[in-house]
Amino acid sequence: MNLLQTLIGLIAVFSFTLTTALAEPILIRFSHVVAEQTPKGVGANRFKQLVEEKLAGRVKVEVFPNANLYNDDEVFTALLDNDVQLAAPSLSKFSIMTKALQVYDLPFLFDDPSAVEHFQRGEIGQRLLTALDGKGIKGLGYWSNGMRVISANRPLRTPTDLRQLSLRVEPSKVIEAQYRQFGAIPIKLPFTHTRDALRREVIDGQENTWSNIYSQGFQASQTYITETHHSFLGYMVITNKTFWDQLPADVRRELETILGQVTEEVKARATAQARQDRQAIIDEGRVQLIALTDQDRERWRQAMIPVWKSFASQIDPEIIAVARAANARNR
Ligand code: SIN
């Protein structure tokens, strides 16, 4: 190697090192719609903290809670346009993108979050994470919130009590059918508009988890909460597939490890927080809780079976069978 070649080599190494050193950190914008003290809100902030510790200078994370940047109906487009790189919409919001995930909304399908976890860890649950691959969206994992209960301005003891009640729902055909079945009026509203709609009595009630109800103060405008635990509210953490695939391999690996850790933390927190926020609502003393006995719950479940049937052509029966089996294997 002559002197010139050595010089050229040195300049190349030097400029590569300089470029790397001066490179802007990769920016990950994480948009979500809930409050920071909920399981998802805490998870998003924890992800930022760990990334900025472990990938300091290489990756920067900005978290936008409370739909400050995008609502859930906008976030899929924002993600595809690479305006945000991470989101975690509720599984019910995915029905506009794929029918398969509707399984999560079938009422009284899953007994509790641990049955859901069992299902998600299994082959079908993992396969559903790839349901949007062909649309440019990659599922990175599942986060939990908890089981849904129904709050209203009148007592709901049996499904027929739902008659004529207007309830805010997520944009899910299954959830709409669940309420239409009993003559209720489901109203699709963005999450962040719900508190105001309840306060102004534009709607009579809503369904959600304890942490979402408490963090938004929905109970302030309601008189009853029925502990139906009729469906699971969880999330798929998603990213723009091209963005993710083009990350440097070591960065991508580290981000996946961090997400794995945060996922476990979110699951543990969701269970504890549901208990804590339920108790906080009881302690406020404003709403009356209506508990369902096993027999009552079975009556609600039986009444909802026609809803399952009406979606039989859209959700693979194998998926439903495996989901049901998760309850038994979980016991
Ligand atoms: C969420 O937990 O992300 C919001 C769910 C909802 O829209 O009710």
Residue of the CA atom closest to atom 6 of ligand 1: 191
- 33 alpha carbon – ligand 1 mean position (Å): 7
Domain count for the chain, please give it: 1
pLDDT at 13 over 60: no
Residue 219 alpha carbon to ligand 1 centre in Å: 16
Residue list, ligand 1 pocket, CB within 6 Å:
33-34, 40, 90, 145, 170, 191, 208, 212, 233
Q: What's the CATH code of the domain at 84?
A: 3.40.190.170
Residue 300 domain boundaries: 2-330
Taking residues 2-22, report their average pLDDT: 51
CB 67 within 8 A of CB 191: yes
Q: How confident is the model at residue 66 (pLDDT cuts 50, 70, 90)?
A: very high
Question: Of all residues in the chain, what percent are helix, strand and coil, respectively (each to 5)?
Answer: 55, 15, 30
- Each residue's pLDDT tens digit, 100-145: 999 999 999 999 999 999 999 999 999 999 999 999 999 999 999 9
Tell me, in angstroms, the distance from the centre of ligand 1 to residue 16's CA: 45
Q: Give 224-273 pLDDT, tens digit per residue.
A: 999 999 999 999 999 999 999 999 999 999 999 999 999 999 999 999 99
Would you state the structure tokens that stand for residue 325, as one six-digit string?
A: 């089996």
| Closest C-alpha among 259, 45, 232, 20 to residue 139 | 259
Across 7-33, average pLDDT: 68
How deeply is 33 buried, as exposed, middle or buried, from its count of CB atoms within 10 A (0-12, 13-18, 19+)? Answer: buried
C-alpha to C-alpha distance for 120 and 123, rounded to whole angstroms: 8
Tell me which residue has its CA closest to atom 8 in ligand 1. 191
Q: Got the DSSP string for 100-163? A: GGGGGGSTTS-SSHHHHHHHHHSHHHHHHTTTTGGGTEEEEEEEEEEE-EEEESS---SGGGGT
Alpha carbon of 15 to ligand 1 centroid (Å): 48
Measured by CA distance, the residue closest to atom 7 of ligand 1 is 191
Query: DSSP class of residue 219?
Result: G
pLDDT of residue 29: 98
**CA-proximal residue: ligand 1, atom 3 (nearest):** 90
Query: What is the reported pLDDT for 18?
Result: 42
Give residue for tokens 């409050």.
35
